[in-house]
Amino acid sequence: MSKNDTIGSIDRLLRFSTGVFTLSFSLILLVFVLWIALTSLGYSPSARLFPLIVSIVTLALLTVVVLTNAENLSGKTLIPDRLQSGKSASAESPTEELIKKRRSIVQIFGWIAAVLVLTYVVGMDFALFAFLLTYYRYQAELSWVRSAATAVGLWLFLVGIFAFVLDVPFPEGILVELLLG
């Protein structure tokens, strides 16, 4: 799959109605709670009592939420009005502004993922500096000088407070561990 295909796929995904995202989120929560409930059955009676009670109640509530969202998407009546979990998200196609907002959410997830990967590979001190510098330069579109100055200042603040004052070691990456043996 080429880069353009990937971007195109993501863009198509972002054009789903808000209702689809809302329904998907509530379904994910429902599946999680269902998993907890089913897993509970494998524990001793005392260990499963509380989680089972809570998961059954939460399942019931999330079912109402899912049905409310599904009703809005399908246009069919699935549950009585008084049980509905509030005004549901729109089933209409999103506006360009909303799509732009969703793209920015994907962007920030990308930045966070990049920091995590860099932290794991080369260590947090380098990862944070690289993140700060590239973010301010390419995302916030500051000049190289301002980006570098801001990144250095913030990095020194973080290292100063956490590493020196609070004596918190930053995680080393696997590359550093390999090099040091």
Partner 1 sequence: MLGILTDFIAVVISLFSWPLFGFVLLGTLIGLVFGSVPGLGGPVAIALLIPASFGMDTTTALVLFGSTLGGVAFGGSASAILVNIPGTAPNAATCLDGYPMTKNGRAGEALGVSATASAVGAVFGIFVLLAILPFSRELLLLFRPANYFWIAIIGLVTVASVSRGNFIKGIASGGLGLLISFIGFSNLHGTYRYGLGTQYLYDGIQLLPIVIGTFAIAEAIRLFSSSDQSIVDEVNYESSGILKGVYFVLVHPIQVLRSSLIGVLTGVIPAAGGAMANFVAYMQAKEGSSDPDSFGKGNPSGVLASEASNDAKDGGSLLPTVLFGIPGSATMAVLLGAFLIHGITPGRSILTEDLPLLLALIAALLVSNLLTSLIGLSVANQLVKLTKMDSNLLVPPILAVSLVGAFAARNNFGDILAAVLFGIVGFALIAHNFSRIPLILGVILGPLTEQYFFQALQFSNQGALIFVNDWISIVLILVLIVVGLFIARQRGGEDLTSIREEV
Positive or negative CA dihedral for 29, 31, 33, 39? Answer: negative
Contact between 99 and 12 under an 8 Å Cβ cutoff? The reply is: no
Smallest distance from partner 1 to CB 2, Å = 27
Going from the C-alpha of 23 to that of each of 89, 94, 98, 100, the distances in angstroms are 9, 15, 17, 21
44 binds partner 1 (CB under 8 A): yes
Least spacing, CB of residue 102 vs partner 1, in Å: 7
Residue 36 CB, nearest approach to partner 1 (Å): 5
> What token pair was written down for 35?
């998993």
Nearest CB to partner 1, comparing residues 2 and 46: 46
In the Cβ-directed half-sphere of 102, how many Cα atoms lie within 13 Å? 16
Cβ distance to partner 1 smaller for residue 6 or 100: 100
Which of 87, 96, 145, 181: binder of partner 1 (CB under 8 A)? 87
Pick from 7, 83, 121, 152 the residue near partner 1 by CB under 8 A. 83
- Report DSSP state, residue 43: S
Which of 2-10, 49-57, 70-78 is the region at the interface with partner 1 (rule: CB under 8 A)?
A: 49-57
Among 69, 169, 45, which residue's Cα sits nearest to residue 119? 169
Listed in sequence order, the residues at least 6 apart from 19 whose beta carbon sits closer than 8 Å to its beta carbon are 69, 72, 73, 88, 89, 90, 91
Using CB under 8 A, list all residues that contact partner 1. 18, 21-22, 25-26, 29, 32-33, 36, 39-40, 43-44, 46-47, 50-51, 54-55, 57-58, 61-62, 64-65, 81-87, 89-90, 98, 101-102, 104-105, 107-109, 111-112, 115-116, 119-120, 124, 128, 131-132, 135-136, 139-140, 154, 158, 161-162, 165-171
